[in-house]
Structure 1
Amino acid sequence: MRALIVESHDTPPHLADAVMPEPGPAEIRVRIAACGLNFADLLMMKGTYQDTPALPFILGMEVAGTIDAVGADVTGFAPGDRVAVFGGRGGLAEYGVFEARRAVHLPDAMSAVDAAAFQIAYGTSHVALDHRARLQPGETLLVLGAAGGVGLTAVEIGKLMGATVIACARGADKLAVAERAGADHLIDAETADLRAEVKALGGADVVYDPVGGEQFEAAFRACNPEARLLPIGFASGDVPQIKANHLLVKNLSIMGLYWGGYLAFRPEVITDSLSTLMGWYAEGRLKPHVSHVLPLAEAADGLELMRRRKSTGKVVIEIG
């Protein structure tokens, strides 16, 4: 089979032949139709992600496809089932073997491209806003990086949960994408004084931040008393250092979130969240935004689009 393989953290991944994997007792093998790209893939390539596999490895964290083989101990899944899987690796290949507990059945109406764009982005935002921050109707949610893979889903889900959403992104084109997803107010990160504009809008009760750096600092200073801040990632490359004494002044809470980490200690948080999200999708309340769909041979181009921030929403690689 063909796969995009990382051989070294100092050289780009390359498309090569790989051995067809066989499922273990608790695993399924999936003929992969599509794989969603994530910012974490870029970190894995450099060896800086918290869950970087040992070299060599096949890139690609989330897939959609059809089961073609199951392990002896697998129940609830059978060959021919359409599934989405958060595997954490192995997705940019024609076939992949994954733990069955990481798979979910797909609604009949959900395309492989939508499914490959769905789990990490929507799952991260829903668990962050619902399970961690307990976002309430009528509160003000500030979303940084609001046109990116996770940021755009935070805008959508925040609106569904009844919040007033302030979207911050770079440039008019990206802000237009956030507005279509339901944002009530738009702030251009390239030109605006983020702190001043958020405070003029009444301040933020919840901050969703996949960016870090100066934007986190500005958002921190624009928070209302008892606000909750959610560091999701650090696309800016700058991890902010938080002074604990500053939290005391407004009784602020910092709530980190690593979505995939729940699989190790509370997997029901993820499975319950995905059940809710799949229901919202089936009702037509969620619409994944995919700016680019590329073939496996152009997967490296898709990664470069993300690195250069030339994409909005998700980039998906179609494989079969």
Structure 2
Amino acid sequence: MQAWRVHRNGEPSEVMRLEETDRPTPGDGQVTVEVLAANINFPDALLCRGQYQVRPPLPFTPGVEICGRTEDGRRVLATPALPDGGFAQYVVADEAALLPAPEALDDAEAAALHIGYQTGWFGLHRRAHLKAGETLLVHAAAGGVGSAAVQLGKAAGATVIGVVGGPEKARTAAALGCDLVIDRRTEDIVAAVKQFTGGRGADVVYDPVGGDAYAKSVKCIAFEGRVVVVGFASGVIPTPALNHALVKNYSVLGLHWGLYNTKDPQAVRDCHAELTRLAAEGVIKPLISERVAMEQAAAAVQRVADGTSTGRIVVLPSGAAR
């Protein structure tokens, strides 16, 4: 079968190579899954660079979530077992962790549902307890993780402020339903949030960026606000000033969604049922900006690594991209 393999760490476009390799062999409790679509996540870039918290042995195949078909014909969502990731024709995955692909979504949309929307749902509801009528500030609102949080925030009845970088991403965030869009390149985030909220600030901040985004967030957080730390796409891990959190009465909440797979797998299944319902009602729908063929995967992962993409880029089998 064909699979993209990484033999040394570095930039995705430089270290990913499309090769012929054997199909991975399922172990106990695992099944073989044919890949119908593989979503690109920022962790795929970090895996290539050797900067992710999980470092699979070299060589490995990136690709942490797919929509696929089992040998008995089920259409499923899966997180492939590394080092044999999803940028391949076949993967193996734990049978117990397979989830039914929502009928309301096509293969590419389904492949982009699991990690991003689960992260958003757990971050906004399980960790931050977002309420209807509150103001939610989402950084990187036009990206894959951010766009999911925007849709989930609107579904929860929140007023959503989206922060983006550049006019194209601003248009994307507006189309997603953001009540206010702030272009961080040309506007003052803190001033804009305070003006929009009448000086109160944002009740919940969803931050997959870190660095300066976090620093600006705590300057415009509301009384008893909650900052959900999702990741550090900026490459800068902030150092929170706890005295500032004390003086302003806000909470900093960490979210490592992957832990729920081992700590509380039933919560993951319950969340999937809720996301499936929302997808069926048309309330959420993954924003797919590009559907690329297998041969274009390395360049696509590089675009995600560089932060130039909007929404999700999904890798489809050769001949299926459109």
TM over 0.5: yes
Which residues of structure 2 form unaligned runs of 5+? none
Aligned match for 2:68, one of 65, 68, 77: 65
- Is the contact made by 2:105 and 2:285 (CA closer than 8 Å) also made in structure 1? no
CA distances 1:67-95 after superposition (whole Å, capped 9, x unpaired): 01xxxxxxxxxx11111112364100000
- Normalising by structure 1, report the TM-score: 0.94
Aligned match for 1:166, one of 161, 165, 169: 161
Give matches, 1:59-98, under 5 Å.
Answer: 59-68=62-71, 79-87=72-80, 89=82, 90-98=85-93
CA distance in 1, matches of 2:213, 2:105: 35
Aligned match for 2:296, one of 298, 315, 318: 298
State the Cα distance separating 1:247 from its structure 2 match. Answer: 0.8
CA distance in 2, matches of 1:148, 1:109: 22
- Is the contact made by 1:62 and 1:88 (CA closer than 8 Å) also made in structure 2? no
RMSD: 1.2
State the Cα distance separating 1:200 from its structure 2 match. Answer: 1.3
Correspondence 1:2 to 2:2 = yes
What's 2:202 paired with? 204
How many residues of Structure 1 are paired with residues of Structure 2 in the alignment? 310
- Is the contact made by 2:102 and 2:110 (CA closer than 8 Å) also made in structure 1? no
State the Cα distance separating 1:52 from its structure 2 match. Answer: 2.5
CA distances 1:20-59 after superposition (whole Å, capped 9, x unpaired): 1222231111010110000011111111111222222111
CA distance in 2, matches of 1:205, 1:30: 42
Runs of 4+ in 1 over 3 A off after TM superposition: none
State the Cα distance separating 1:7 from its structure 2 match. Answer: 1.2
Aligned match for 2:15, one of 12, 15, 36: 12
CA distance in 2, matches of 1:310, 1:282: 30
- Is the contact made by 1:66 and 1:82 (CA closer than 8 Å) also made in structure 2? yes
Q: Percent identity?
A: 39
State the Cα distance separating 1:280 from its structure 2 match. Answer: 0.8
Greater displacement, 190-199 / 8-17: 8-17
What's 1:313 paired with? 311
What's 1:236 paired with? 234
Amino acid at match of 1:33: L
Question: Secondary structure at 1:258's aligned position in 2?
Answer: coil
- Is the contact made by 1:37 and 1:315 (CA closer than 8 Å) also made in structure 2? yes
State the Cα distance separating 1:303 from its structure 2 match. Answer: 0.8
Give matches, 1:154-303, under 5 Å.
Answer: 154-202=149-197, 203-303=201-301
- Normalising by structure 2, report the TM-score: 0.93
Correspondence 1:35 to 2:38 = yes
Amino acid at match of 1:14: R
CA distance in 1, matches of 2:81, 2:110: 15
State the Cα distance separating 1:285 from its structure 2 match. Answer: 1.4
What's 1:130 paired with? 125
- Is the contact made by 1:175 and 1:187 (CA closer than 8 Å) also made in structure 2? yes
What's 1:73 paired with? none
State the Cα distance separating 1:269 from its structure 2 match. Answer: 2.2
Aligned match for 2:29, one of 26, 30, 33: 26
CA distances 1:198-222 after superposition (whole Å, capped 9, x unpaired): 1112210000001111121011110
Distance 1:81 1:57, change over 3 A: same
CA distance in 1, matches of 2:272, 2:49: 30
CA distance in 2, matches of 1:43, 1:21: 23
CA distances 1:173-219 after superposition (whole Å, capped 9, x unpaired): 11111111110011011011111111112210000001111121011
Aligned match for 2:52, one of 31, 49, 62: 49
Question: Secondary structure at 1:48's aligned position in 2?
Answer: coil
State the Cα distance separating 1:138 from its structure 2 match. Answer: 0.6
